[in-house]
Every structure is written in structure tokens, then in C-alpha cells.
Amino acid sequence: MSRSGLAVTAFAVVLFLAVPGFAAQEKPMTDEQVEGLFASVCGFCHEDGGRVAGKGPQLMGTKRSDAFIINRIKHGKEARMPAFGDQFSDAQIKSILHYIRHLKPE
Amino acid sequence: MRQKKTFAFSMAVALGALAGGCAQQQAAAPPQAKVGEAAMMAVPADAETKADWTTYHGTWRDYDFSGLDQINTDTVKNLQVAWTHDPGRDTRGLQSMPLAEGGVLYYSGSYSRVYALDGATGKEVWHFFPTVDEALIKRQTHSPYNRGVALGDGRVYVGTVDGRLIGLDQKTGKKLWDTKLINSEKLTVGFTGAPLFLPGKNMVVIGAQGGEWPYRGPLFGVDATTGKRKWTFLTVGPDAKSRATWGHNSWRTGGGGGWMPGSYDASSNTLWWGTANPAPLYDWSGPDWKHKGARPGDNLYTTSVLALDPDNGTLKFYHQELPHDAWDFDSAIGEFVQIDENGQHLVVHPNKSGYIFVYNRDNGSIVNIWRITENSNFVKSIDPKTGELIGRRDFTAGPVNPPLCPAIDGGVSWNSGAYDPRTGTWYKVGNEWCIDLKVVKTQPILEPQAQLNIGADFHEVPPPGQDKIWGHVDARDPVTGQIKWQVKYKEPPLASLLATAGNLLFVPDAEGVLHALDSRNGQELWSHSDGVGHDGGIMTYEAGGKQYVAVVAGWGGMVTDGYPKMFGEPFTSMPRNTGVLTVYALK
């Protein structure tokens, strides 16, 4: 049987033309934007904006290298973390790294 | 018909049970009723399974109850492992509900792998491993677990996380059709819940994942023979009435997936289905939620129970359990317990908040609403006659104090309870946990691929004034909520329950221990460790004249990932991405 998704695609076109997102842009994000990103996407696992360990590890004060963090954001880890390399630009991922490096207790 | 029960439980005993229990101990003095002593009611043929278990809840009445009684309170001491099966590639554990027909057991694992196994020996009859979009799965948050298959008209049906529904030949496992229903590559959501086969309708229905992704939660009705889509029901903004309840055109990104299978009432030809929360999960509207925040208004038809005409997917009637849900308390739990009592046609549906809604299933009117959790503060109460949310807490951006109860994980979770139609007793898990929450303004992320839209930072905490998170299995009247007994557990049990005519209630717990309780009083009669935590289904069937109990164990789901932090051992050391189907029989 064919895998027709034409009608679904039509809905998707309407959806994405109507509400542009802020992702996949070349320009970096502000810390405030990254905080919003954590509250939207990342915070289910990296709790309290990455300040404490939860389902995922604590990011505040992490000893991991910049290269490790960037690689993990881009490629994820099976069954632990999605890959965001197709979602965010290098500039945006550097913004996320900057946010993580400057996390302070609330 | 269900009649007034004669159990010798008083409310005083019930309250004592609530106050005095301890971990995994019976909380109330057991009643002295023997089998047949209490008023055992006649059981309609469609209310219990016998040799076969052909749909998610056993029968379409959603009782998760079997009339088999070879394994009973006297013989359960001789229960032992008959065989086990590892589906392989157990990414995110094993969360499905096995089915059985004609002595063959059918079940699914992660990546929508489907197995048909000899029910007596576990020997493989066939397997089907679909080719799925592995690159997409790497980008998905919750994937690639699968919560079950459907059986009907000689076929097996399974959904995939890349948005397809597949029909297989039940005898051979050969693929008959493969239909792409949703653009998961763009929308991220696919299918993790089991499909629902509608007997006599040549129809199979499936709902898309999640409320936290900014789509519109479709349900799909598909021709069971050909795989052709017959209808689509968008749970968000399908009509002008719905769109008027979403300020700023927020219906375009509303969420509302129907991620667990619903139920079917053949007597009225009604498809019952529950919908998820709106996106973002948490809103910053404050009290004026009709006009402010991310999605001003009621947000129809999210966090709602829908009654649909399965022939064309049109809405007959509905009830929105939580208008403008600002707490992620879905109605997507697919448990619709259909009870006939005193001439009334009732359906009992648990909301994730821990409130239990009882409806007249002829028209969706409210009959009663009661609560299974002790700790709850998102509202002061819900009017049991009108359904009005009284004293609701609608947050503004910033820290929330006191913590929100129950937690995002749910006062009840997505797995099922069990209803014994002989005694009118519903067995259901309640969870006592809360979250420290800070609401943060977000905007939908849609390009290049839709992302979660949560709207908060949070972590789980014990209820205010308590030092531990805990859970309990209750035996209650499903219509009134009156409690008969309660057993407390150190950690919320997450898996489904199974009740049988052997007067047994099977409770698969989070630590991996399968408990067999006397369903009349909660007394534990037998237990066995499956080695890893339970987070899926349990059922019973007959093969070669022998009764078997099948339960899945496997760890690695989104809620269970939080257990190491909440409870420490054994969860800190519990291997993730494991799975095993364990089948028990008498020696």
C-alpha cells in the first residue's frame, strides 16, 4: 500500500507558514532566549534550567569540555538525548554552550 | 447488571486504611468474605476474557479482567516462570500490552518490532521488524518505545514512531499494507500507542503522540482491510467552535495528541477517545486565562473525552475535563470502563490529575467526579455534578509556591487499572508526588522540525509536609469512589493491573516485583522478581488448557528516568534499555 501523506503535508504547510519559529537561524541566541529554549525543549530532563540533576545530568558546573558538550548537542545519545544538529545552527549551539557555562544557582 | 454490593466495608475501616498503611503492606483489616459469600454479580459475556485476550484491555469494556481461575488464591503459591522472551533493541524499555488468540501470544517492542509466539512454549511463530526512519528517531525525544498492537479480522496492526500504521497477516506476519498517516519528519510526533480495532466495522483507529508538541493531535480511522485512511479528526481546531477557544490563533500549535488507544461501545456505535493537554504545557496567563497567556480560552478539544462516530470520524459529543489545562493533566489515558448499573450506561475515565470522571455514556453528561490521590492542589475541587473547576491555580511567569500537586508524571499514569465485574470493584494506582515549578514564557519552535513546548522548569518533590514520594493501589467503587482497601508502595507503581476470577489482583511494581494480591482484601499471596522495573502491560490467557500470565518488564521511559533521583537504589543501578516478557504458569 502506498504511503500517501499529502493531506498531512498540506496541514503542515499551513502550520509552518503561519507560525515561524526562531530556530535554525545563523545568528546566536541571547541567554534569555536559551533560558526559554530550556523551558521549552531541554528542561524535561535538565531540570531547573540545567541547574540540577534530574532525568538528565546537571549542566551547571559541568566538567565536560566544550567539544564534548557541542558534540552531545549535535549528535545526542541513543535513548538519553535527541540529536539537535539539524535543528540548531553552530552559532546557536555556541549560545547554548555559553548559557551552560554561565549557569548560576537561583 | 451491576447491583448494590454487600461488601462488609465501612467508611471507618476505609479511612483507617488510608491513615495506617505502610509500604507494600495491607492497609486495612481484611474482610472475612469468602468466594461466593459476597454478592457475586452475573458477568456479561463481553465483560471478561477467557482463553483469548484480543484487545488492549481484554475486552472493549476496558475491564482488564479475566474469567480464568485456574490460577487462584489457593494455587497461586505454585506459580512459576514458564518461559521468557527478549524482544531485543529494548531502547526505552518494554511498555506494551501483550495480546493472545488461539494459543498464540502477540506483542511489540521498541522500534515497533512485533512477535507472534507459541503461548505455551514461547517458541517463535513469526516476527516482523519494520524498517523505520532511524535518523528521525535520533531526533525524537520519547522514541522509540511502542505500547502495543491490535488484533482483528485475521490481521495484526501496529503503529510506528515515523507516523505509519501497518497491517500484518496474523498467521504469517507478512506485511499487507503500510500507510503513512502523519508527517513525523516535520511534526516530530508519530505513533507510540496501540491502535484500536473496532469489531464489525472493518476499522482500526490510532492517535498521534503527545500534547507538548505543537501540532493538532490527529486521530485517524483506517480501513482495516486496505489500510486506506477513511477519516482524520484534528483534536485541536477542527471546527469554528473549537478555534474560538484559542486566542491569538494558538490552535495552530495546540498539541492535544490522543496518544493512548480509546475504547468502543458497539451498543451505540460510539468511539471513545481521550485527548492530551494543550501546548505549552504550562501557561503564564494568571487568573484571566480566558484572555491572557500563550493560548487564551478553553482550548477545545484538548484534555477532553470525545465520543466519535467511527464511521466518519465526526464528533457526537464531548466533555472537556479540564478547560484551559495549565498543568499537563491529560485526558489521554485510554481507560474507559463501561459499566451498566441500575439501568444507566456509565463510563468511568481517569484523568491524569487523579480525578476520576463518571459519565452517562449515552450523552456524556456527568454522573460523578471523585479523586483517587490524597495530595492535590491544582484546584481546590471539581464540582461532582457540573464538572466546574473550583479554586483553580493559574500561574504567571516565575516561581510557583506551594509546589504543584500532583506532579507532571500524573496522579494516575497511562497504564490501566482493572475492574472486577463480579464485585463491582475497580483497582487503580494513585501516585503522591508534586513538582517545584517555575513557569517560563516560551514560543513554539517549528522549524526545521517541531520541538517540545513545555513552558517551565521543574523537578519532582514529595507532597508538602511529607518527606517521601509514594504510591498506592486502591480497591474502590468506580462510581462513588468509596474505598474498600488500599496497599501502599514505596514508589508509584507505573504498570497496568490485572484482575481475575481466581480472586487475584496482579500488581507489577516499579522495582520489578510482580505481586499477586487477594483481590478481596489486598493481602499479598505471592511475589516474584522479573529483574527490572515494570512499566507496561499484564494479561492472562489460555493455551493447551493451561492458564498463563504474561507481563512485560523493562526500564527507560520518560517518567522512570526520574526514579534514580527520586528514590536512589535499586533504580540507580537498574539497567536501562532492557526488556523481557515473562510468562508464568502453575507448576
Chain B positions in Cβ-Cβ contact with residue A41 (cut-off 8 Å): 445, 451-454
What is residue A10's predicted lDDT score, i.e. its pLDDT?
37
C-alpha to C-alpha distance for B269 and B266, rounded to whole angstroms: 5
Alpha-carbon distances of B322 from B259, B331, B416, B426, B473, rounded to whole Å? 17, 8, 21, 23, 24
How many C-beta atoms surround the C-beta of residue B334 within 10 A?
27
CB-closest option in A19, A55, A79 to B562: A55
Mean of pLDDT values over B97-121? 98
**pLDDT tier at B203, thresholds 50, 70, 90:** very high
* Tens digits of residue pLDDT in B68-98: 999 999 999 999 999 999 999 999 999 999 9
What is residue B523's predicted lDDT score, i.e. its pLDDT?
98
Residues B199-234 as b or e (16 or more Cβ within 10 Å = b):
eebebbbbbbbbbbbbbbbbbbbbbbeebebbbbbb
Mean of pLDDT values over B103-117? 98
What is residue A22's predicted lDDT score, i.e. its pLDDT?
45
Mean of pLDDT values over B260-274? 97
Residue B550 bridge partners (DSSP): B539, B583
Cβ distance of A23 and B186 shorter than 8 Å? no
Average pLDDT taken over every residue of chain B: 93
Chain B positions in Cβ-Cβ contact with residue A37 (cut-off 8 Å): 445
For residue A57, the chain B residue with the least C-alpha distance is B565
Taking a contact as any Cβ pair under 8 Å apart, which residues of chain B between 145 and 164 contact chain A?
A: 163-164
- The Cβ-side half-sphere exposure at B444, using a 13 Å CA radius, reads 31
Mean of pLDDT values over B369-390? 98
> Which of B174, B176, B183 should be substituted to probe chain A, the one whose Cβ sees the most A Cβ atoms within 10 Å?
B183
Question: Using an 8 Å Cβ cutoff, are B188 and B256 in contact?
Answer: no
Chain B positions in Cβ-Cβ contact with residue A49 (cut-off 8 Å): 457
What is residue A27's predicted lDDT score, i.e. its pLDDT?
81
Residues A76-93 as b or e (16 or more Cβ within 10 Å = b):
beebbbbbbbebbbeebb
**% of chain B beyond a pLDDT of 70:** 93
Assess whether pLDDT exceeds 80 at residue B342: yes
C-alpha to C-alpha distance for B71 and B74, rounded to whole angstroms: 8
The sheet carrying B113-118 orders its strands as: B99-101, B104-109, B113-118, B124-128
Which is higher by pLDDT, A101 or A23?
A: A101
Which is higher by pLDDT, B502 or A37?
A: B502
Chain A positions in Cβ-Cβ contact with residue B140 (cut-off 8 Å): 82
Which is higher by pLDDT, B289 or B12?
A: B289
**pLDDT tier at A19, thresholds 50, 70, 90:** very low
* Tens digits of residue pLDDT in B413-448: 999 999 999 999 999 999 999 999 999 999 899 999
CB-closest option in A4, A38, A49 to B180: A4
N-to-C CA span, chain A? 55
> Which of A19, A72, A104 should be substituted to probe chain B, the one whose Cβ sees the most B Cβ atoms within 10 Å?
A19
Taking a contact as any Cβ pair under 8 Å apart, which residues of chain B between 74 and 103 contact chain A?
A: 91-92
What is residue A88's predicted lDDT score, i.e. its pLDDT?
92
How many C-beta atoms surround the C-beta of residue B69 within 10 A?
15
Cβ distance of B440 and A36 shorter than 8 Å? yes
**% of chain A beyond a pLDDT of 90:** 53
3-state helix, strand, coil in chain B (%, to 5): 10, 35, 55
Mean of pLDDT values over B211-229? 94
CB-closest option in A40, A78, A83 to B452: A40
For residue A89, the chain B residue with the least C-alpha distance is B448
**pLDDT tier at A25, thresholds 50, 70, 90:** low
pTM across the whole model: 0.91
C-alpha to C-alpha distance for B352 and B329, rounded to whole angstroms: 5
Residue B515 bridge partners (DSSP): B507, B527
Assess whether pLDDT exceeds 60 at residue B381: yes
Q: Does B472 touch chain A (CB under 8 A)?
A: no
> Which of A15, A31, A59, A72 should be substituted to probe chain B, the one whose Cβ sees the most B Cβ atoms within 10 Å?
A15
Mean of pLDDT values over B125-131? 98
- Cell for B148? 502495543
Cβ distance of B139 and A87 shorter than 8 Å? yes
Alpha-carbon distances of B445 from B122, B450, B535, rounded to whole Å? 46, 6, 30
Assess whether pLDDT exceeds 50 at residue B319: yes
Lowest mean pLDDT among A25-34, B119-128, B482-491: A25-34
Which is higher by pLDDT, B534 or B5?
A: B534
What was the ipTM of the complex prediction?
A: 0.82
C-alpha to C-alpha distance for B303 and B326, rounded to whole angstroms: 10
**pLDDT tier at B45, thresholds 50, 70, 90:** confident
Domains of chain A: 25-101 (1.10.760.10)
The sheet carrying B418-420 orders its strands as: B418-420, B425-432, B470-476, B483-489
- Cell for A43? 528542561
CB-closest option in A14, A23, A56 to B447: A23
- Cell for B487? 496497599
Helix (H) or strand (E) holding B233: strand B229-233
Q: Does B136 touch chain A (CB under 8 A)?
A: no
3-state helix, strand, coil in chain A (%, to 5): 50, 0, 50
C-alpha to C-alpha distance for A23 and A34, rounded to whole angstroms: 11
> Which of A38, A44, A60, A73 should be substituted to probe chain B, the one whose Cβ sees the most B Cβ atoms within 10 Å?
A44
For residue B226, the chain A residue with the least C-alpha distance is A1
For residue A36, the chain B residue with the least C-alpha distance is B442
Q: How many CB pairs under 8 A join A and B?
A: 149
What is the least distance, in Å, from the CA of A2 to any CA of chain B?
6
Taking a contact as any Cβ pair under 8 Å apart, which residues of chain B between 554 and 583 contact chain A?
A: 556, 558, 561-562, 565, 576-577
Q: Where are the beta strands (DSSP E) in B314-461?
A: 314-320, 337-341, 344-350, 355-360, 366-371, 381-382, 389-390, 398-404, 418-420, 425-432, 434-439, 456-461
Assess whether pLDDT exceeds 90 at residue B449: yes
Cβ distance of A19 and B446 shorter than 8 Å? yes
**% of chain B beyond a pLDDT of 90:** 90
What is residue B252's predicted lDDT score, i.e. its pLDDT?
95
> Which of B165, B281, B457, B565 should be substituted to probe chain A, the one whose Cβ sees the most A Cβ atoms within 10 Å?
B457
Residues B508-517 as b or e (16 or more Cβ within 10 Å = b):
bbbbbbbbbb
What is residue B38's predicted lDDT score, i.e. its pLDDT?
54
What pairing do the DSSP bridges indicate for beta strands B65-66 and B498-500? parallel
For residue B556, the chain A residue with the least C-alpha distance is A79
Chain B positions in Cβ-Cβ contact with residue A74 (cut-off 8 Å): none
Cβ distance of A21 and B447 shorter than 8 Å? yes
**pLDDT tier at B236, thresholds 50, 70, 90:** very high
Taking a contact as any Cβ pair under 8 Å apart, which residues of chain A between 9 and 48 contact chain B?
A: 9, 11-12, 14-16, 18-24, 35-41, 43-45, 47-48
Asked whether the CA dihedral B393, B394, B398, B404 is positive or negative, the reply is: positive
Which is higher by pLDDT, A1 or B526?
A: B526
What is residue B446's predicted lDDT score, i.e. its pLDDT?
92
What is the least distance, in Å, from the CA of A105 to any CA of chain B?
13
Cβ distance of B183 and A9 shorter than 8 Å? yes
C-alpha to C-alpha distance for B117 and B574, rounded to whole angstroms: 27
**pLDDT tier at B136, thresholds 50, 70, 90:** very high
